[in-house]
Structure 1
Amino acid sequence: MFNTQFADNELVDWAIGQRRHFHMYPELSGQEYETAARVKSLLEEFGIPLLDGFSAPNVIGYFKGTEGKRTIALRADMDALPIVEEGEDRPYLSTVPGVMHGCGHDGHTATLLAAAKWMSQNPELVKNNIILIFQSSEEASPSGAQQLMKEGVLDKADVIYGIHYMSNMPLGQVGFEEGYAMASSDDFDIIIEGKGGHGGNPHETIDPIYISTHLIQAFQSIVSRNLNPLKSGVISVGGIYGGDSYNVIPDKVTLKGTIRALTFEGAKTMIEKTEQLTKSICEGFGAKGHFTLIEGTPPLYNHPEACKTAEKIIRKTFGDDLFTPIEAVFGAEDFSYYLKEKTGAFVNIGMQGPKSQYPHHHPKFDLDEAAMPAGIELMIKFALEG
């Protein structure tokens, strides 16, 4: 399906073997110590030095190019999810109860390792310096990418590339959205502190349930009246908690929700307005509104210059028919922390088909390994030509 120059059958088979091992022994965010140990061992076997000064269990390798005029960073995420895996037809099911690779990170890690293996076998072809980032905690907050950026992982990099195998994109397609490609993701807790009382005497209370309905309605005005309609956002309340009786108005109500935007400015506006409306509306009813932001990830912005390079590589490598422009989505990805500070691009590789028909984070999710030759080839080409 994919015409590859460097990802031959032997290298792909090796990568698939590594991927299945990681799938069988998944580790949650921040706990990827055995995964990291295997990655370190393989990089050392390849003769690729490890960089110090970065928090465990992140692993950072450094390949020195023959010329070293340019430094390319390549990233893979390593963490799994707290999901009970379902399915009996695969010999590599998770052996860890309640934990599975339900997002393809096992494939990302194996893919970057395969690219590292190829570089170690063909050092004379690699002119650029390569930073190999095996990152912890993509699925968690605080984010592993955010932590690595604080530690200076890209201080000497000129550009960064990452890939993601996608179950909602047909196998055989490769592409991305230039510019804002994925949304920010911030969560919030709101406590409405009112005054409880008998349901038959509401005039003696400050009803937090009633007040919560005004908040939920008002939040939608932030999207419709404060954001540019061409740069959309979403505020969704996913939980309302308060009261457990037919005829008692509670003292407090808690709301839980998410704020997502496709621009940095939109995310800032939505967070500020949500907090302002919470306090002002509650005060207007004589209640107290307590807003707590749970910071997530910023919008993912694919830089045009890196996208042009990536598109050129994809078209030249796989043909014009396989390159697929993609519309922006409101999913989130902590690769955005890298792109907030450094030029780069995040590329999607399709794998949707009979072997990968379930969405990411589903108990029956599986990665179609037929997509891995494309991922390996791209990582190598990014190292050589990025």
Structure 2
Amino acid sequence: MINIKLIDSELKDWAVKQRRYFHMYPELSGQEYQTAAYVRDRLKEFGLTPDLKFSTPNIVARFYGTEGKRTIALRADMDALPLQEEGNKAYTSTVSGVMHACGHDGHTAILLSVAKWITSHAEAIKNNIVFIFQSSEEESPSGAKKLVEEGVLDGVDAIYGVHLISDVPLGKIGFAEGFSMASSDDFDIIIEGVGGHGGNPQDAIDPIYIATHLIQAFQSVVSRNLHPLQAGVISIGGMQAGNSYNVIPHQVKIQGTIRAMTFETAQMMYVKTEQLTKSISASFGAKGHYDYIPGTPPLYNHPEACETAKKVIIDTFGEDAFLSLDPSMGAEDYSFYVKEKTGAFINVGMKSEKSSYPHHHPKFDIDEEAIPTAIELMIQFAIQG
């Protein structure tokens, strides 16, 4: 095994410089054209030609190894979030209301650095490598889903991705085997009743009152339909109804999310919430309209990829570096890749004084000491995957 723990300071400094550039010029989901152009130019400098068959602003490039018996895909996401950055960094976002608050600037810099290292050590790489710089992880429609539909995994044997994570200590690397992250699907509901005067409720069909029954009933989907050892969450994120003290509105709008740890659980929760919406509304004489919005499936870390990942982590960084993590009810569209191909999604810890704020917080920052670790990890996946 090639010892890449001795990645030189020049590559580390180069990676940090790239990360800070991406941080200063963030772009929202589906709008990462400047980021993509920058990535494309660097890849061309390394002798890699981006594949033009994939939709923009995604960037996909292939490296052909000395043997090419296996093809390993490596993925990074590029999009930022609609947040106003707070704090006094030297590399604060220059775009008002947009910032990298989830580490995607780091992920892009890491994969770009991996491409730089691999192309300069081409004789050491037997596998073919597919570099995936993906748009739109944070928003639907998913960039991963689109790339899979366009054939980005054709001929790929395994895929690996990393996420810099602020709730795992710096120096630790880990993952949950099997179903490790939840699905995330949304729904819109309209309860259509009959409006009326607040003093004469007998002449109305009150959709607000019906909504309270529906929200309570949704909790029974988890508590009385789901196995107690399985995970599922239904959360109501919004409700709009009326704007007066003494007027019963004619309708209520409800928005919510369904999260589940298996495909079967997600499907069951969808069916039950739709049934309850229609039946409870009808029982009060109202109409319940349910619109299901598919999002991302559960993320499944394949056992064989996990075995490779654990070996890489222990061999490269030592046994103490590995952490077996619990599954998370967070969601990630990397799940579309591992739904189709063998792969794993690995968390690289960076919790420290510098990286003390959670993801999606306006003061979020990366501890850049985690970046070389992630670069080493992804190079080893390219070699050993």
Correspondence for 2:308: 309
**Residues 175 and 347, structure 1, Cα contact 8 Å, conserved in 2:** yes
Aligned pairs (5 A) from 1:45-60: 45-60=45-60
Pairing 1:7–2:1 present: no
- In 1, the alpha carbon distance for the partners of 2:227 and 2:29 equals 35
**Residues 4 and 374, structure 1, Cα contact 8 Å, conserved in 2:** no
Q: SS of 1:106's equivalent? A: helix
1:289 Cα deviation after fit: 0.5
Correspondence for 1:82: 82
Could you tell me the percent identity over the aligned residues?
67
Query: Could you tell me which amino acid in structure 2 is paired with residue 289 of structure 1?
Result: G
- In 2, the alpha carbon distance for the partners of 1:249 and 1:57 equals 47
Pairing 1:266–2:283 present: no
- In 2, the alpha carbon distance for the partners of 1:108 and 1:45 equals 19
- Report Cα offsets for 1:9-43 as digits up to 9, x if no partner: 11111100000001011111111111101111111
- In 2, the alpha carbon distance for the partners of 1:112 and 1:238 equals 35
Correspondence for 1:152: 151
1:7 Cα deviation after fit: 2.6
Pairing 1:229–2:228 present: yes
Unaligned runs of 5+ in 1: none
- In 1, the alpha carbon distance for the partners of 2:90 and 2:194 equals 58
Correspondence for 1:96: 95
- In 1, the alpha carbon distance for the partners of 2:118 and 2:253 equals 53
- In 2, the alpha carbon distance for the partners of 1:100 and 1:338 equals 26
- In 1, the alpha carbon distance for the partners of 2:363 and 2:252 equals 36
Query: Could you tell me which amino acid in structure 1 is paired with residue 245 of structure 2?
Result: Y
- In 1, the alpha carbon distance for the partners of 2:34 and 2:208 equals 48
- In 2, the alpha carbon distance for the partners of 1:246 and 1:26 equals 44
- Report Cα offsets for 1:97-133 as digits up to 9, x if no partner: 1111110000000000111000111000000000000
Correspondence for 2:291: 292
Correspondence for 2:181: 182
Corresponding pairs, count: 383
Q: SS of 2:315's equivalent? A: helix
Correspondence for 1:340: 339
- Report Cα offsets for 1:280-326 as digits up to 9, x if no partner: 11111110001112221111110111000000000000011110011
Q: Could you state the TM-score of these two structures normalised by the residue count of structure 1?
A: 0.98
State the superposition RMSD in angstroms: 1.0
Correspondence for 2:171: 172
Q: SS of 1:369's equivalent? A: coil
1:52 Cα deviation after fit: 2.4
- Report Cα offsets for 1:331-360 as digits up to 9, x if no partner: 110000101111100000010111001010
- In 2, the alpha carbon distance for the partners of 1:261 and 1:6 equals 41
Correspondence for 1:247: 246
Query: Could you tell me which amino acid in structure 2 is paired with residue 60 of structure 1?
Result: V
Pairing 1:27–2:27 present: yes
Unaligned runs of 5+ in 2: none
Aligned pairs (5 A) from 1:209-220: 209-220=208-219
- In 1, the alpha carbon distance for the partners of 2:350 and 2:238 equals 33
Query: Could you tell me which amino acid in structure 1 is paired with residue 96 of structure 2?
Result: P
- In 2, the alpha carbon distance for the partners of 1:256 and 1:52 equals 38
Correspondence for 1:43: 43
1:167 Cα deviation after fit: 0.7
Query: Could you tell me which amino acid in structure 2 is paired with residue 26 of structure 1?
Result: P
